[in-house]
Chain A
């Protein structure tokens, strides 16, 4: 089970597209943290606990995190569960102590960073409006130097879409080997913005081609993920989120949500599926489970439906208000990503690119 603890709503950045609501100082009490971990280890049937930290900025609460790790370790040993650890961080407070904490406990880190200075400062500034680029770039370098497995999570927004290619390059130059671009679906994707996105996606594909031709083993999503959906036609189906089943997010209040993207300000009863006092509202959770819904009529006859993320409950909820209903915005992004993924896949396979063959065909061409 993946358990995401929202350790505080507080954050030192003011990202324009942030989906986690108002940045108030509402720390998760130690008692809630312990009960959440107990709930997860007593509930999971999967043999492991993936303990993830989110916020706000989770690294503003290192003591709470240390306490959670201690408690999770004890409970996992007792229950014979494997413990995995993950964190999403904005990378602004990665001092020696915090890097040591992440390293020691085997964290996998998702560092939120949008690219070079222009892309980063377009949307991800400090509370006082100051640029965060230098600080976060330093954070990424420190994670890489410490050997901490790190995925850079970048947000694809109308005002940085044209920078996609150079953003990828700049993140790779800082040491990133895996960058994933996730769209801000709720932004205003005007016709002009969509045109910039199309140009940006082509540039991103070109840069991915260039890196692999240079022998660099880098990954960029969603392109690589979409290549995988062609290679292994069951991949998309297997990646269906377990929305509230094997994945839970806990707000500082102790309220439970099916996905970390839905915690927001902890005030949306429509997607709150229980709390640590009363436990899970299973009936409500099952009503929300997008994978159990019938296929949306708009997907009838679509040749790409085996490769798309129409099942993503949080993206659907964000854009339509219904975890089971796909929006035309999500559909358009999926089509664009798959199209570009197939363009670069075709080129790299035709060239029998060694890195591509190694990554996807165990080094062999058909």
Chain B
């Protein structure tokens, strides 16, 4: 049963679905950011632009050392 509400939103909703970026709601913490990046990638690909390099998963020219360090 919904309790009577003390406050009702008087800030306007957005007229159309808007890319809210990392502001999407989730308690899980990281997925909305990936969703946002995916959305940007999709937009970039659709526009014929190259995929931004920082979306490829970071610099792949690294070496992970056996002890867990990196160089």
Q: Which residues of A contact B (CB under 8 A)?
A: 2, 46-48, 50, 52, 62-63, 65-67, 69-70, 73, 76-77, 82-86, 88, 97-98, 100-101, 104-106, 108, 110, 149, 151, 153, 180, 182, 219, 221-222, 224-236, 238-239, 241, 247, 298, 302-304, 309, 312, 332, 335, 339-340, 342-343, 345-346, 348-350, 359-361, 366
Contacts and interface: CB of A to CB of B under 8 A. Distances in A.
Contacts of A224: 23
Contacts of A219: 23
B57 interface: yes
A108 to B, nearest CB: 5
A221 B57 contact: no
A348 to B, nearest CB: 7
B57 A82 contact: yes
Interface string B1-32: 11101111111111001101001111111111
A345 B30 contact: no
A342 B64 contact: no
Given A151-B29, A312-B27, 17 more contacts: A2-B31, A47-B38, A50-B30, A66-B67, A66-B68, A69-B64, A101-B68, A153-B29, A182-B27, A231-B11, A231-B18, A233-B13, A302-B2, A309-B27, A339-B5, A342-B7, A360-B23
Nearest to B64: A66
B7 A230 contact: no
Nearest 7 CB-CB pairings of A with B: A62-B68, A225-B25, A83-B57, A349-B11, A106-B58, A342-B7, A66-B68
A324 B57 CA distance: 35
B47 interface: no
B29 A228 contact: no
A104 B14 CA distance: 38
Given A348-B11, A366-B12, A232 B20 contact: yes
B2 A304 contact: yes
A239 B26 contact: yes
Contacts of A88: 29
B57 A84 contact: yes
Nearest to A241: B28
Give the interface centre of A48, A82, A110, A345 by most chain B CB atoms within 10 Å: A82
B34 interface: yes
Nearest to A67: B64
Nearest to B12: A366
B27 A46 contact: no
Contacts of B18: 231-232
A42 B27 CA distance: 27
B27 A232 contact: no
Given A232-B17, A233-B13, A104 B25 contact: no
A50 B34 contact: yes
A200 to B, nearest CB: 16
Given A100-B70, A303-B2, A366-B12, A108 B30 contact: yes
